[in-house]
Amino acid sequence: MKQFALAFFLAFVLAGAVAAEPPSADDASRAKAVLLAYKDAIENLDGAAATALFTQEAQIFEQGGLEGTWAQYLERHLGPEFDEIVSFEFSNYQAGVEVTGDLAVAWETYSYTIVLKDEAEPIVRLGAATSILRRAGDSWLISLYHSSSRKPPA
């Protein structure tokens, strides 16, 4: 039964990919621009700018847990963190995007450094994220975002 379900799912996805308009390089570039805009919003500690990049129902996963919608994540998690952060800087940023029809699957890898108001030592981490973006007219919005991080090796 599992094999039948998997085969049905793959046939459905492939049929959609064949029926959909072929993606253009502009599609991938526009989707990647959303990821870069999100990175910039985080570096600027700007929740409002980040909000414009997500669908209303977007789900956020972080460090192995479901954080809820973007609005919930911003209100309960990221927003309060912004209040404690002096600076948030990404480095070694790389990203890739693959577009199929009206969906884009994306990955990002990066390092980041966070300086907190009440901490002498900065937080330095290696990070990775995966996203699913949905076409919204000529632009793209993030509908699912998953990130994780770890301490870099000594």
Q: Is residue 113 part of a domain?
A: yes
Q: Is residue 10 part of a domain?
A: no
pLDDT < 50 positions in the chain: 1-19
pTM of the predicted model over 0.85: no
CATH number at residue 93: 3.10.450.50
* pLDDT at residue 60, rounded to an integer: 98
Q: Is residue 5 part of a domain?
A: no
Q: Is residue 122 part of a domain?
A: yes
* pLDDT at residue 1, rounded to an integer: 46
Question: How many domains is the chain built from?
Answer: 1
Q: Is residue 11 part of a domain?
A: no
Q: Is residue 3 part of a domain?
A: no
The string of DSSP letters for 31-99 reads HHHHHHHHHHHHHTT-HHHHHTTEEEEEEEEETTEEEEEHHHHIIIIIHHHHHHEEEEEEEEEEEEEEE
Q: Is residue 1 part of a domain?
A: no
Q: Locate 147 and state its tokens.
A: 């990130």
* pLDDT at residue 138, rounded to an integer: 86
* Domain span including residue 144: 23-150
